[in-house]
Structure 1
Amino acid sequence: MIQPESPSLTVDVNDVQEYHSVNLKCSAINGNPSPTFSWYRDNIPIQSSSLVRDVENGSILTLNMTRKDNGVKFECQIWNPALSSPLHIEQRIIVKYLPYVNILSNSSLIQSTTDRILTMEHIDEEFICEVDANPRPTSIYWTLNNTTIVSREKRLYFYRLKSEQSGNYTCIVENALGIVKQSIYIDVQYAPRVRSIDKILKVNRSDQVKLRCSIKSYPNAHEIIWYKDKIEISRYKIDNDDKIEYRIDRVERNDTGNYTCMAINRISLNKQQQQQQRYFDLNGSAIIELIVYSRPVMETTYSKIASEIGQSVKLICSVKGQPTPSIFWKHNGKTLNCEENTNDYCKLSLNYVTTKDFGDYKCIAENLLGKEEWTYTLVSKGKPEPPYDIQIDKITHSSFKIRFKPGFDGGDYQSFILQINNSLSDIPNNTFEYTVDDLTDSTTYIFRIKSQNSYGVSEWSPEIIIKTSELLILPDDLPTLRSLSYDSSRKFLHFDYYPGYKISEKQLCLRINQSTDGKTFDTGNLHSSCLDIVHNRVNYIMNKDYSHLKLAVCLREKSMICGNGIEMKHDERDRTSAPMIIGIVVIAIFLVLIILILMGILRYRRQKSPKYSNETRKSAKPIVSEPLQNPYLLYSNNVPYQLNDYQCNKIMNIERTENYCCDIEREKMKDESIKHDTFDSYGATKLRTNLSGTNHSSPHWLANTAESKNSGTNSRSGSNPSSEFSCLTQNTMILPIFSDSEIVCQTDITHYGFPSQSSRTLTNTKLNNINNDQNSRSILNNFPSSSIVMIDNNGIRPMDSASSTPNRIKKLFYEVVV
């Protein structure tokens, strides 16, 4: 096996153009066995056998080239068993072609030359000529109707399109191979354009007039609307008519004004959603001014003016007419000119009214077509005039409506009084329409009206007679009863109605039929059993002989016309009070519970507040227990009595004179005024004395308990330790005298004054210094074994209960107890 040589690839055409046939030949020699040939287009195998044919030592690929083949890679591969991998060769083909042109509009592609672009006036449009050509285009331009060049760029832009810009637009592209054109037709639609044929029309009164307009619209207008002073007066459909008109057969002076002719097509319909002012400013409307010639017409509605002497008055005369009339005033034969004449208004001012100014004032207006006068009467303020032009409307079986015009008010605020038969009622202020209701059907009423002000009351208006209509009520129209109950204490029968009825309670009564067995009801005395209804109840005395009642609502005037009846049984009687009482009791209990809960919450919060705790602590007096007969065994008997360092030093150096002083009276006054101890905290003061006794002595430090018991007095020295001690922290020490006791000098004081383990003992022998002192021995011998003495710079003396410190001893007592 022999490997073939590397393949070669040749193209039979040098200048490849679109739609031309091209042969690509791949050759390879010296291969044994002969190699096989494969073709690829951009790495994709070409499978079509009609495009490939084998020749000696090679293969030929025949292609009909298009612009899509431009720049495409064509590859030939050979292989035989002697090769470890195929050999290949490739070549890219350059294809030349005429320009391909597409027109884009608003991101959409226009592909056909007959495409028609439908757009609207006053919007922006953009068209882009997209080109694909090889070689590159030499020129690109746009033409309108194949005559006028409108752009020399790929982009054709229209700012606020106009209807005149409609037409055929062509994009022309040219390169070395030739010229290509692509066209579109731009069809611009627009709202109707209306033009008035006559801008101003002047006609005489009673003439016929035609208001005409011409219309140009695309698409055609389909509706016409006419406005007078921007108020619609006519609307109708049209079919492809470019001239329209509005006709008035007989014009009057009030036909004078501005008339607007508006045409609507499919485009202008969307613009109706805009603001009204903008709506009339569009091209779809035109204005025609109509002027009707007429003699002057007064538009004043009052003829009397009231004033007091010294006041100022303005007389206003309003006149309409064409041509514009001239206006002047006359009073007592004198001509007065208008002080101000604007927009057909003439004003005459009287700055200071005198008695000579009262009288008639004539306003005279005239033009070429006639003359008009109006008389004003200036009078002094006084009583009003009665209403006039009284009309009656909407007469029903229970009401009617009154309309009237107020008379001259006399120069002051007036109100109105209505009299119906013999009943008087006030008509609400500033109301000239009033509805009278709650009347009886088929009844004749006589009414009249008068007015009043601060100067007096007017005369009555003429009497008017009216009769209400007949009330036609069927039994089904009457209300049906529900919720029956009887109150035996007040003899009231209570009930309620089902909703939906529209009849006044004054027109109703309650019929009651009685029965003993619930089957046969008494109907012999119906006229006396129809009771008047007042606030859903009737006054009725229940007869116990009848266990069943049948009730129905009837017409008062026609008691035989009744609604659906309802039966009241014996067990429904006298049950009105029970639910009411139960409800009241339940509500009362509920309110009491709420009050108690609120009081408990307030008391709890008050007790928890710091202010309340401080006040309680200040006001409460500590309770000190009476001394016990037996000593407290807070310590074991083998624990000696303990003294602190300060007391030990005092005992051992009792004869030493030092400059210590304790002002007992000052401390007494200070301690009596202060309720709280000035110590930092329990067990925290360095000079605090902590004493405790052993053997048979009490830790309460009691003094002369036996004497107190024998004397029968309740001495504080026997019950309150606060009376036995003072000056504990100012160079003074308290020494209890116990027989056969040891005194322990305490070095460390722990919390609440309990002794620490490190202490030293001072035995009785060490007290000899005290005993050797003659004065001290005599004093000690005079004290009982459980008495308390005080040792200080002045020597040994009994405890003075009058100089005690209550609060300090109380705390010390608490420490001993704890």
Structure 2
Amino acid sequence: MFKHIMLNGEDRLLFVGEIDLKPAAKFTRNGNSYVLNGVTRRHAGKYVCRIETSPPTELEHTLDVQYPASVRRESEKVQRVVQGSSVTLECMADGNPTAAISWSRQQGHLPSGTQSEEGLSITLENVDRHVEGTYICTASNGIGDPSSASMTVEVEYPPEVITEQAILHTGEGDEAKLMCIVHGRPTPAVSWSRNGDPLMTDNHIIEHDSLHRHTLTISKVKEEDFGDYTCTAENARGQKANTLRLTGLPKTPKMTSSPAGGEKTSYTLTWETESYTPIAQYRLQYRKFKPNVTTQAPGQWIDRLYSPKTSENNFTGPIHHMTHPIEMLEPATDYEATVAVENKFGWSGTSEVFQFYTRKGMAHPMETQGIGCVYGKCDER
């Protein structure tokens, strides 16, 4: 007698003497040997050869059939969850030897920061839009090729509205593009308003692209187009807005001169600003800088209005490079200055405070071995 005890415990009698009871089982008898053709995983188990003697004699063989790993999803292919909640992704694997399961993320690291993790499941906690994507479970046991299954996580969350430029400087007759970047799920509806009023489509073109960028284009800017534009996004999870300012005002000046003055009693201040119309005037403020916090107060601000040089208003572009010589300064003295500029639409913001110093007439009190230091910045004088 020859029988098969399968892995599930079921007995299958294959031969009794010379009689083949299961021809479909692909066994053939060759004397005292049994040959199995076309082995599959269902052939795994114990095989018992029994000789009916008194007492009976049995010989047992174990067939271990190795086969490649396979994997299947235990979770839905698309998992849609609400921001702040948790989601668990699960896979099951089959294979002999036992397959190991690893998790990875298509086009990026896992939320934990690692490239992969081991286990039958992976849990994403307190989810936000940054965990969205396709997660892949891969089973491998060293036999054949690994097997993979994928699941997609989508997170529902209120709109997020990002503006790369809070203020856009432009001029009359120019084209202006106001842009906001909008994220949200479900996909938010986006609208524009100006100074709180819904935007009319005349002279305005509204577009969006696959990178979540929503652009409002004003083809030829008029003075009445200046103002605050609000980009509002709304979906089932909430609403969010962000405001951009379109203005004809000059940009806040940026100082470009070196702190080290080359003269004892004068200093030439230089700066640049962006304005799409000529600069009408500028305000310069300067004073002695406070060199010692505990013993000496700074000087009084000298505040003056000036008209720019004609050459500084030769309008070849929006960037204006401007200079002003400051006279009657004291040698080897530290000063600080600010500047603001005005065009037909009004005043710019005031520049950051800029420190400079004049050349020494005698040893400068802040000078050591030929190096002068102002606010921790040292320059040879």
Structure number with the higher helix fraction is: 1
Of Structure 1 and Structure 2, the greater strand share is in 2
**Which is higher, the Rg of structure 1 or of structure 2?**
1
Higher relative contact order (CA 8 A, sep 6+): 2
Q: TM-score, normalised by structure 2?
A: 0.48
